[in-house]
Amino acid sequence: MRTWLPGVAGALVMSVGFDAAQVPTFRSQVDNVRVDVLVTEDRRLVRGLNASDFEVTDNGVVQQIEYMRFEELPLNVIMSFDMSSSMIGERLEHLLVAAHTVLDGLSPQDRAAVVLFNDLLRRPTPLTADLQLVRKALDLLEPQGLTALVDGTYAGLTLAGSDAGRDLLLIFSDGVDTVSLLPPSRVLEAARRTDATVYSVTVRGTGSQFLSDVSRDTGGRSVEIQSTTDLQKTFVSILEEFRQRYVLSFTPRGVPNTGWHRLEVRVKGRRPTITARQGYFVGPT
Amino acid sequence: MRIRFHVASVLILTLASVLAAGQSRPSENPRLDKLKEWMALVEQHQPGAVDPAVEAVRFWDREWLQDVRDDLYGMRESICAAPRVVGGGRCPRLPINVRGTQQLASHAVVRSQRAREWVGAYTARHLADLERLAIELDRQDINDILKRGALLHTDIAFRADPVVTWSSDTRFLFLQKTSVNTTDGRESGMSHAVDHLEMARRLLDIVTPDPRKDLDTFPERDAMVREWYRATIGLLVAARSLDIRHKTASTDLLQDDDEVLFLAGAMHETLASPSFQRGVTTRSIRGVTFVEAERTELSRAEDLFRRALKVNPGHVEARVRLGQVLAQRGQTAEALGELRTASGASRDPLVSYYAALLIGREEADVEPARAAFRRAATLYPTAQSPRIGLSEVAMRSGNRRGAAQEIETIWTSGASPSRDDDPWSSYFTAAGRRGNSQLDAINAAFSPTRRPR
């Protein structure tokens, strides 16, 4: 969960700035909580909502929504891809086309990064607005080795929160985790400490409970595709969906500073489908 | 020659022999010629090499190999009873296995049966031919031939491309193995081949360790046989080639061998891993199960590691893996106890590294976890895993920036990451890392240049 330093100790939330250089620093006290919310009715996005339409509770305590944004914040798209040996050939080609299409859909203020995982982790490019750099890195990919899916997810999560942009962690894997060091439970816990919204894509028959869990917990979605020929349209739909989420912000009040905070988001007077992170964790475990 | 292994794994079910007995062969000499040809190729073979002998014998079909094995058994029996060779004339009653049929017989019985053809499988003429061939050898030579033959078939099993074989026979067949192949945690097909490792095993089953004292076959008392089992099960573990039948044969024969028990445990530990639990869908063939549920595999691994430690409490690597298995079974406190004990006793950097990483992973408290990962980083400074662990420890202690910085050290380390820098990815195969050198040592002892005569 992103935390914002107040200008003066004990002051209320510093208004959100969008300076890319601004790096949030962890404090044991949460100053500001941001929640990415997808609102749908009959599988269609619900637009035109205002802050006053939402109700957010933190551990059951209703919070004051301080601002709401829609399609305004820049995106940080972190693409964490399986580069194990099973990706050789057609699967890699489909993945590259899909990844380039994601880059095509980014705005000049958006940034992207690539994390690759097999036996090893690699980050060919840092989070950058220079998308040409990312494209070049994608063209050099070479699948080999085993699949450290959980470690790769974790590495992607650590790239989140580097600036004021909204973090989309887009994970693709076609196989079973065979070599990660970290247990899934620890990475799920790490995910609850970050702002990143995880969208995961797997190929039919290789679905990962871990990816389903981390996607659900961060308010994202896990998608199972029939084959990698569906990757391009899946990535496009994820990016479109992510852009059209509401971003709500509040300063927690009436709840303990540390520990697990269960979040609930509602739209007043309606019963749409709400997809948002299930909570956030602050402080030591 | 070093055996190279790839990511692909092979799960092998060596099919049980249920061939019917009593299939007669022509009483002419083609079968004996085949035996002589095999013996000549064994003589020519340089153990450890893919030489013309390997290239020739690897194409032999199962029937020929079965005949060779049975005839060698018959020769051994002939030698045993023959007064003209060392130790001869003292033949005990032995259970003999001819074409899958167990019958109790002694050479005297055999002799009396010759007229009626030996246990229905041998003609009198063939038996006489075998005896003539046997008399040319002494008992030491038959041991030597059996061992060299086993090494030839071991080289075929590990160093030569398998020759596909299949029979329309619905029964499981002698010397046929069925392998379920997996690649990167995914089942990628099934193959059938002649099981040369089983052939080697069956040859060694006939070994008599000390011809002057032993009247019976006691392969488990023979140093070469023991080393061979250690080497081959190690090679299988290193190759993720999980031949359950070979493992079972190894542990049945060498029930008190800590290394064999350890390697067998490592095999079950690997079978419990996600690669096999999620990657293998064909878990049994014709009613024979070769991948059990994760909890069953972990339970078997735990039992074998405990047995290894009972034989040798100083087997540090068995203790590390026992700790890992206990952690997988949710017994974290006991797991950490075993891991800490192992960590304190280990002199092998690789084993210490695994112990440190596993302690770091399982330890709920931040400081001991961090200390363990730091120790791992000291042992393998360019490895990624300790950095990942340290990052996660920072994250769980609430220090997101520290977590990001630890991961950043991976990205900014300069040199391209190499899997050789981090042994974590080879955890499941590392238990068998000594197999190659063990087999090399056996091969060197049986090099033709070191032949005693």
Q: Which residue of A has its CA nearest to B417?
A: A120
- Mutant choice from A3, A87, A179 vs B, greatest count of B C-beta within 10 A: A179
Comparing A231 with B89, the larger pLDDT belongs to: A231
For residue A61, give how far its alpha carbon lies from the nearest alpha carbon of chain B (Å).
23
Cβ within 8 Å, pair A161-B279: no
Among A176, A195, A203, A204, the residue to mutate for chain B (most B Cβ within 10 A): A176
Lowest mean pLDDT among A129-138, A159-168, A218-227, B110-119: B110-119
Q: Which fold has domain A6-27+72-243?
A: Rossmann fold (3.40.50)
CA-atom Rg of chain B in angstroms = 25
DSSP state of B397: T
Residue B370 with chain A: CB contacts under 8 Å? none
What residues in B contact A143, CB-CB < 8 Å? none
B419 with A120: Cβ contact below 8 A = yes
Tell me if A284 and B397 make a contact (CB, 8 A cut-off): yes
- The pLDDT tens digits for B406-424 are 999 999 876 667 778 999 9
Number of neighbours of residue B376 by Cβ within 10 angstroms:
28
Q: Quick one: pLDDT at residue B63?
A: 85
**A195 in reach of chain B (CB within 8 A):** no
Confidence band of B73 (pLDDT split at 50, 70, 90): confident
pLDDT at A159 over 90: yes
Give the distance from residue B7's alpha carbon to the nearest chain A alpha carbon, in angstroms: 6
Find tokens 């899946």 and name the residue.
Answer: A234
pLDDT at B104 over 60: no
Buried b / exposed e along B300-337 (16+ C-beta atoms within 10 A): bbbbbbbbbbebbeebbbbbbbbbbbbbbbeeeeebbe
pLDDT at position B12 is 54
Cβ–Cβ contact B328 with A under 8 A: no
Which pLDDT does position B451 carry in this prediction?
59
User: Which pLDDT tens digit goes with each residue over A8-21?
Assistant: 222 222 222 333 33
Q: Which residue spans of chain A are classified as CATH 3.40.50.410?
A: 6-27+72-243
Q: Answer whether A194 touches B (CB < 8 Å).
A: yes
Mutate which: A25, A119, A181, vs B, most B CBs within 10 A: A181
Give the span between the Cα atoms of B62 and B169, in whole angstroms: 13
Q: Report residue A60 as tokens.
A: 């059951």
Retrieve residue A177's tokens. 């985790």
Q: B294 CB near a chain A CB, below 8 Å?
A: no
Structure tokens at A63: 């919070």
pLDDT (average), residues A89-113? 97
Band of pLDDT at residue B279, cut at 50, 70 and 90: confident
Residue B28's pLDDT band (cuts 50, 70, 90): low
Residues of A in contact with B395 (CB under 8 A): 158, 189-190, 193
Q: In what order do the strands lie in the sheet with A121-128?
A: A121-128, A111-117, A75-82, A166-173, A197-203, A221-225
Task: Give contacts of A144 with chain B, Cβ < 8 Å.
Answer: 7
Question: Is residue B87 over pLDDT 50?
Answer: no
Q: Tell me the chain B residues in contact with residue A206 when contact means C-beta distances shorter than 8 Å.
A: 186
Cβ within 8 Å, pair B357-A283 = no
Share of chain B above pLDDT 90, in %: 55
| Closest alpha carbon to B242 in B11, B14, B436 | B11
Q: Which residue of A has its CA nearest to B405?
A: A158
Residue A226 structure tokens: 């029939």
ipTM score here? 0.88
Chains A, B: CB pairs < 8 Å: 119
Nearest to B325 by CA among B334, B314, B315: B334
CA distance B131 to B123: 12
Cβ contact, residue pair B388, A206, below 8 Å: no
In chain B, which residues have their Cβ closer than 8 Å to the Cβ of A187? 392
CA-to-CA separations, A211 to A160, A188, A204, A234, in angstroms, rounded = 17, 9, 13, 16
Of the candidates A151, A193, A283, the beta carbon closest to that of B388 is on A151
Q: What is the mean pLDDT of residues B347-361?
A: 97
pLDDT at A240 over 90: yes
Task: Categorize the per-residue pLDDT at A220 as very low, low, confident or very high, splitting at 50, 70 and 90.
Answer: very high
**Nearest residue in A to B328, CA atom:** A183
Tokens representing A120 are 């090893």
* Predicted confidence (pLDDT) per residue in A264-277, tens digit: 999 999 999 999 99
Which pTM was predicted? 0.85
Smallest CA–CA distance, residue A124 to chain B, in Å, is: 8
* E-strand stretches of B15-142: 94-98, 101-105
For residue A147, the chain B residue with the least C-alpha distance is B184
Half-sphere exposure of A217 (CA within 13 A, CB side): 21
Q: Looking at residues B54-62, what average pLDDT do you find?
A: 93
Q: Return the residue in A150, A178, A282 with the most chain B beta carbons within 10 A, the one to mutate for interface testing.
A: A178
C-alpha B148, offset from chain centre: 17
Distance from CA of B403 to the nearest CA of A (A): 7
